[in-house]
Structure 1
Amino acid sequence: MDLKHLHSFIRIVEFGSLTRAAATLNVSQSLLSRQVRQLEIELGTHLLQRNGRGVTATDAGRQLLEHGRGILRQVEVARQQLGQSRGPQSGKVVVGFPPSVGALLTVDIVTRFRAGYPLASVSVVEALSSSLLEWLQLGRLDCALLYNPPVNANVHYRHVHSENLYLVGSMRSGVPLPDSVPLATLGSYPLIIPSHLHSVRQLVEADAAKHGVSLDIVVEIDSIRALLDLVERGVGYGVLSRNAVLSRAPGHSLRAVPIVQPNIETRLVVATPTQRPVSTITERAIGMIDDAIQRGLLDPVFES
């Protein structure tokens, strides 16, 4: 497979247009069409379909898009590893954070990384842990922080932080929360909670089932911002880490209290792939993440 053809295909899908992709790549549309056709012949399937506004990827094209981004990223990493003339402090690292963690770490990590390694570049991607894990295996990420990931032979995990989960409610509701909520009573609160793809949902349901607690889930929503908006309006209660609430703008009316007897503990790990080497610059970025956690950036004083 020609990497130039693969790169062209990815740009076409990203722009949704042969015209815009050709202008960006500074080549003719006819050349791009020939490159995509060559890929289709090689793979034995159609990759693009035309519509009134441009082009979109077929099911096979979307699969190639995901794999192709990882392939190009790994070629870039290989070039960095082999080209040592610029020294070990050059290259590029792509880091993945869950949104609640990114809100607290991204600015610190990027600022310190740019100051320490001016010849290198860093990219930060925020998404659910399940998506970050998939992208790490596909090669689109070099490392990631993940909440409660499943056992996976393709990924190495190192535990770096633990957080207890809190029940989050609105102080406008007129029904004040107690100072703590026993797990046995969690079923009496109407919950707004992420879908099954979210690690928090999986953890809460597993611990509730273990202790015979039936949950009252009234809304499923993966956007933490929207979830907290609904909680603040009194639609229901959330079960989240305190960092999710701390990322809220000042002046909110949310109150969070710990879930106890027992606590529900979420684990945060640094994840790296086992199927490919970790670059020097990625190791430096991980070192900065470790330092930020040790400095307590994930442990600010929480006022309930």
Structure 2
Amino acid sequence: MDTRQLRYFVAICEFRNLSHAADHCNIAASALSHHVTALEIELDTKLFTRKPRGMEPTAAGLKLLEHARSILAAIETAVSDLRHGQAEISGNISIGMSFSIIKVIGGALMRTVLTDLPKVRLLIRESLSGVTYNSLQSGEIEAALIFNPPQDARTSRMPLLEEELFCIGHKDIVGDTQEPIRLEEMAELPLALLQSGSLSRALVDRPAELARLEARARIQLASIAGTLSALNEGLACTLAPKVLVSEELRNGQLIARPVTEPRPIRTLHLVSPLDTRPTFLRERISALITKLVHQAVESGRWEGARLVVP
């Protein structure tokens, strides 16, 4: 028994005539008769009394009619609720991401929410990836964009892009060149590094190189603003993505040199907890973020990044 058979059955009960019901259902009368016979065989009971001028439901047929109408009404209600729920998305949602991500897609994300989702209140929480992950675990945020998140069976993660990190600094420190620099050479330069930031997340599988850089860094920061200040003041160089200082690179204030041996690459994931109930709002915002990330990479606005093919 399926919903199609139930609809055919209800039509016959209402029209009391096989031909009229067939016209209403846009199906051949012979096919409609076949469905009725199959239904009677499945239920092992007679549902109609065939008469010269039509078909009359039996007692069993009338009982099934009550259930069929109730079932079909429930299905229509479910479909309406789902369609209405998607059309009228509302509520509050908090998303975590780093400064560099906000710089690339934050404005477009806020603009789209304001324009297309008038009943949604969006909170964007800025922090480094490590801190963002802790906020996700504690339930302070509902989804997050995180670079190289740790393995955790309690979360789902979807890779979006891979981003290359560069040796970035004033030309007096890194040289007036865009030639590659080996990580070992970079370790000899004045360094300002983010604590638990882009460096550790890009070199998580290279502990020796990470330890060497951290040991050489005279300045460690837990602040993007502090890092930018150190770069612009010509105090130190750092390992960071180009999008962090895109304007400074364009006007020649800073220089970005590719790093080799190893080449630092980090992967951006869209992460959400598995132990929370899915919502239309979170699904819509996640789809929107994914779209904006793809557009930023494909347009070239997200420099040094390439999309991850699922």
TM-score, scaled to structure 2:
0.63
Superposition pairs for residues 7-156 of structure 1, below 5 Å? Answer: 87-88=85-86, 89-156=89-156
* Structure 1 counterpart of 2:292: 292
Q: Is the 8 A contact 1:142 1:278 kept in 2?
A: no
Task: Give the distance between the partners of 1:250 and 1:185, measured in 2 at CA.
Answer: 25
Task: Give the distance between the partners of 2:251 and 2:170, measured in 1 at CA.
Answer: 12
| Letter matched to residue 145 of structure 1 | L
In structure 2, relative to structure 1, the CA distance for the partners of 1:301 and 1:271 (3 Å cut) is closer
Cα deviation code 1:129-181 (max 9, x no counterpart): 12211221222211110011111222111111110110011035594345111
Q: Does 1:200 align with 2:218?
A: no
Cα deviation code 1:16-58 (max 9, x no counterpart): xxxxxxxxxxxxxxxxxxxxxxxxxxxxxxxxxxxxxxxxxxx
Measure how far apart 1:204 and its partner are.
Answer: 3.7
* Structure 2 counterpart of 1:6: none
| Letter matched to residue 87 of structure 1 | G
Q: Is the 8 A contact 2:203 2:210 kept in 1?
A: no
RMSD of Structure 2 on Structure 1 (CA): 2.9
Task: Give the distance between the partners of 1:212 and 1:130, measured in 2 at CA.
Answer: 18
Task: Give the distance between the partners of 1:209 and 1:237, measured in 2 at CA.
Answer: 20
Measure how far apart 1:238 and its partner are.
Answer: 0.6
Measure how far apart 1:207 and its partner are.
Answer: 2.8
Q: Does 1:159 align with 2:159?
A: yes
Q: Secondary structure at the match of 1:296?
A: helix
How many equivalent residue pairs?
220
Measure how far apart 1:234 and its partner are.
Answer: 2.3
| Structure with bigger gyration radius | 2
Task: Give the distance between the partners of 2:143 and 2:252, measured in 1 at CA.
Answer: 33
Cα deviation code 1:183-228 (max 9, x no counterpart): 3423222211012x32423534753616996652111012122212
Superposition pairs for residues 213-252 of structure 1, below 5 Å? Answer: 216-246=216-246, 251=251
Q: Secondary structure at the match of 1:188?
A: coil
* Structure 1 counterpart of 2:254: 254
Percent identity between the aligned chains? 18
Measure how far apart 1:294 and its partner are.
Answer: 1.1
Q: Is the 8 A contact 2:248 2:254 kept in 1?
A: no
Task: Give the distance between the partners of 1:104 and 1:171, measured in 2 at CA.
Answer: 25
Structure 1: runs of 5 or more not aligned = 1-82
Q: Secondary structure at the match of 1:87?
A: helix
Measure how far apart 1:108 and its partner are.
Answer: 0.2
TM-score, scaled to structure 1:
0.64
Q: Secondary structure at the match of 2:272?
A: strand
| Letter matched to residue 85 of structure 2 | G
